[in-house]
Chain A
């Protein structure tokens, strides 16, 4: 076991896969230079310019080219420099990549990974802070994953590369270097789909992913000192979604807080809430509560306003105290 940061885990995962399979290549803006977050640092020297492709600042073509390569037997990993810039590629992702299998009645599939850094809390303001998961997790045929720990980043990027269908691999940029934990040495996979209970608890359950998972764990630790036992579930994969783990935990505590960084209205946590309300109603002991970013454009630049926007351990603790007392 070696300690790796999130960005190192992603880099190692891609590098190991590319070493083993020369169909895999990366493409994106400045990836030859290593990319803005250094995810592909050293790749140009190691794998050469044919497998590390610099592209113009044109996201629709990055994804479009990747789809074409995938259909022709290659295994592309497309990097969108910031999730905020992915929107020009929406048509390619929604209308092409995610529907190819369905449209061709299974004759074609599209083994494509789109990696992109998302989320706020890093002074990124409007163009570097967006949460896009709810928009893309809405699309059938597209897998959307949001790991939170280096072990999962490495194991899931490998699973994503091997997946026969398109995977949107979301990397919370604030985690890149702030989270550093042990990563197994062997060649392992983290399956896409299963959620995991990161902390067992009795009184309340928090569902979260990405940066919010870490904030939730901090809040749970704080509350443990106050005699409130909070269970924390790391959703990891939003589509497919592990309803069984969600419902089991919901039934266990009956008090649910769903935390997400995206705008409140129509955010992915709304789906979690709806599933629990529909399938675990008789186990609920309090209203299902969502704690999310306010319904304003993400994300204000001024530090107090950014702080106001971002859900954090303090706000999560406050919400959990209210739920526990209900």
Chain B
């Protein structure tokens, strides 16, 4: 049984009236034979039948007005399949009508955009078969190779995640087409707490960013190609991501560390004897940074599409140099720790880093990074923000310099530069200036009165 509906006789017409049925229930009808006369505000038309068959039921009485798309008649289709012209009803009149298009639209604006319903619901199969142009035939998304291969063809997203989490992809069962491992499969695998693999991600998994980044000159024989370690690759990718995604600005302040230097000198031997770790400037710098973040929480944040996400926990990443490259273990909830506690944690994380014993938890969750570039003898550096964090602070070498004092005398002081690179989308120079002033004032205030515990 096939139902024929009220056709749309012109684009601005939303309803039609059956003037007269030319066929009655039980009559046979041939393709293109007229079924009825329809009247609309624009045109009167005879509606030809798109099918051959027997009229089973007439659903709308003569004189009735119905909306476009309302069923008019049911036909038991016999013999041949639907005609090629599937909705011929509106055609002849419509051609003439388009000649007066401007008037049509002008006179009937309010209805102009009424959704048109095809006179007869088109058969998708027949259209697809007839056309050589594509709409959406299934199988549009090409897959390469036999089904068996597909399980081992990994998308860039899957390879990137595998590398980030040091996963062996062979262990993951794919839910995609042909057993493909999808991005979501990997995410689920990681979320299920699957162990990170000791073996590095396969070398055949190049992050293409390096290739894309610039033209590589052809190697000469004497040149040496150092294969990328997973750490090196990750550093490369993260640094590139940082620079590409964040508009970063830079600021430097100088801090008078004289009082702190004297204090440290006075207590450091005793501290090492008692605690077993060295008392460096770093825990003081981290402590002062934490204070700065507490007073300027906007820096303890990250840029997201929905807004600046200000983090409640203050987790300070401390950059550590290892044979493999830079690693940034994280001091969790650093705001709850004393200077001695920070000294212990920094020493422990650095030891783990150098022995490659860091757990995933040790290197994730950082909200701000401190980089002690002074350890390399640097007096000024422009660090790159560790994404998605908003800023990175570097502490430089403490050097003795002649400094003009408030009373215009010149004194030898222990001076240190502190530099900060920051995501200028998140904060402006004024915020950074305020933050740097807090950190500086804290550092300059440290002295004999400062509790280490």
In which size bucket is the chain B interface? 35 or more
Q: Which of A33, A35, A306, A322 contacts B141 (CB 8 A)?
A: A322
Interface assignment of B119: CB less than 8 Å from any CB of chain A: yes
Report the tally of A-B residue pairs with Cβ distances under 8 A: 155
Cα A175 to Cα B112 with chains together (Å): 10
Q: Is the CB of A322 within 8 A of B140?
A: yes
A121 touches B136 (CB 8 A): no
Given contacts A37-B105, A127-B101, A285-B155, contact A122 B113 (CB under 8 A): yes
Interface residues on A, range: 35 or more
Which stretch from B90-98, B190-198, B284-292, B392-400 is at the chain A interface? B90-98
Write the B130-173 contact mask toward A (1 if CB under 8 angstroms, else 0): 01011110111111000000000001111110000000000000
Closest to A296 in B: B133
> Digit string of A295-326 for contact with B (CB within 8 Å is 1, else 0)?
11000011111111101000100110011011
Q: Give A235 to B293 CA distance when docked, in angstroms.
A: 37
Instruction: Tell yes or no: A108 within 8 A of B by CB.
Output: no
Chain A CB within 8 A of B451 CB:
no
Most buried by B among A125, A173, A294, A305: A305
Given A303-B90, A307-B122, residue A326 in contact with residue B109 (CB < 8 A): no
B160 close to A282 (CB less than 8 A): yes
A124 with B142: CB separation less than 8 A: no
| A319 nearest in chain B by CB position | B136
A217: shortest Cβ distance to chain B, in Å? 15
B208 within 8 A of A: yes
- Collect the chain A residues with CB atoms within 8 Å of residue B309's CB: none
Q: Is the CB of B116 within 8 A of A326?
A: no
By a CB distance below 8 angstroms, the chain B residues around A197 are: 305
B130 (CB) vs chain A CBs: closest residue: A308
Of the A-B pairs whose beta carbons lie under 8 Å apart in the complex, a sample of 25, sorted by A's number, is A36-B102, A37-B109, A37-B112, A81-B102, A122-B11, A122-B113, A128-B11, A177-B110, A178-B113, A248-B305, A254-B155, A281-B208, A282-B156, A282-B160, A286-B155, A303-B8, A303-B86, A304-B87, A304-B118, A305-B127, A306-B116, A307-B118, A308-B131, A319-B136, A326-B182
Q: A36-B109, A303-B7 are in contact. List 16 more A-B contacts (CB 8 A).
A: A38-B110, A127-B101, A177-B110, A178-B115, A248-B305, A281-B212, A282-B156, A283-B156, A302-B87, A304-B87, A304-B120, A307-B122, A308-B135, A309-B135, A315-B135, A326-B182
Closest 3 CB pairs of A and B: A294-B133, A123-B11, A304-B122
Chain B: residues with CB nearer than 8 A to chain A?
7-8, 10-11, 85-87, 90-91, 94, 98, 101-102, 105-106, 109-116, 118-120, 122, 127, 131, 133-136, 138-143, 155-160, 176-177, 180, 182-184, 207-209, 212, 237, 305
